[in-house]
Amino acid sequence: MKHWRIALAGLSSLLLIGFVLVWFLPARWAMPWLAGRLNGLSLQQVSGSLWDGHAGQVRSARGEALGQLDWRLSRTALLGERRLQVNLSGPRMAFQGRLDGPGGADAHWTDVHLRADLGLLGERLLAFPIGQPCGGVAVDANEVQLRGGWPLTLDAQLQWSDACLRTPRHGTLPLGVLHLTLRGGNGVIDGRLRDDGKGPLQVDGRLQFSPLGWRFTASALPRDPDAGLRRWLASLGDAGAAGVTHIHYSGGLAAAMSRGKP
């Protein structure tokens, strides 16, 4: 019986030591375990604990310096209930948000605020048929519910400042300031695109996307005589008598089924 008591006391001591170690785990000790979960991001000059930490420098997968990162992770994550708050601040990117749930492809983000220079994202992530976006984007989202990486629920406002497009045929086209509102649920998101009423392009458009496809329709009219902008609009759709270009784009499974109907 004495040997059992000694063994039980030893096991209890080991469990207590392990619990204390995890409870106060230094953030730098956790970096090898977290590296595969950061999607290519590199955290440097790490300090603090796993639960309340700081990285003096964050670098993207391409090596760009993104800024400093502070995070707070609830210890309820040990019980499978993760609550994470992050704050990234840098000259070309800033991000704040709260994550509940497992994260990754299935995640629930709230109070999201993003400011970013589109040049950070690179051509591979922003390779659109109509041109390469440039300028700065600001996103404020009350809620983003991801399921399998797809926005199941979304409530967000986006402002594209100093908006422009780099095109191979028409050069760099200034678009002014554009606003996009995105709302939806059950995987179907509706958007409204408008300009601020002062820039070189007057535009009013609607966007809808779901796992089955997407559709974008808009009416656009140049406010100034920029020839490049007019030629670019002419390549997107037909202009009416008042010079308004009507743009219609769609893609995905739903669009293919629609085109196949008699």
Query: Would 81 be classed as within a structural domain?
Result: no
Domain that holds residue 220: 92-260
The pLDDT score that the predictor gives to residue 104 is 61
Share of the chain above pLDDT 90, in %: 36
Mean pLDDT within 124-133: 69
Between CA 122 and CA 127 the distance in angstroms is: 8
Mean pLDDT within 78-92: 84
Number of domains in the chain: 1
Mean pLDDT within 140-169: 91
Query: Would 236 be classed as within a structural domain?
Result: yes
Query: Would 77 be classed as within a structural domain?
Result: no
Cβ atoms of 93 and 137 within 8 Å: the answer is no
When pLDDT is cut at 50, 70 and 90, the band that residue 259 belongs to is very low
Query: Would 244 be classed as within a structural domain?
Result: yes
Exposure string of 195-225, with b = 16+ CB inside 10 Å and e = fewer, is beeebbbbbebebbbbeebbbbbbebbbeee
Residues 6+ apart with CB under 8 A from 64: 92, 120
Query: Would 105 be classed as within a structural domain?
Result: yes
Query: Would 33 be classed as within a structural domain?
Result: no
Query: Would 162 be classed as within a structural domain?
Result: yes
When pLDDT is cut at 50, 70 and 90, the band that residue 87 belongs to is very high
Mean pLDDT within 64-76: 86
Mean pLDDT within 123-149: 82
- For residue 164, pLDDT over 80 is answered with yes
- For residue 233, pLDDT over 70 is answered with yes
The identity of residue 62, as a single letter, is R
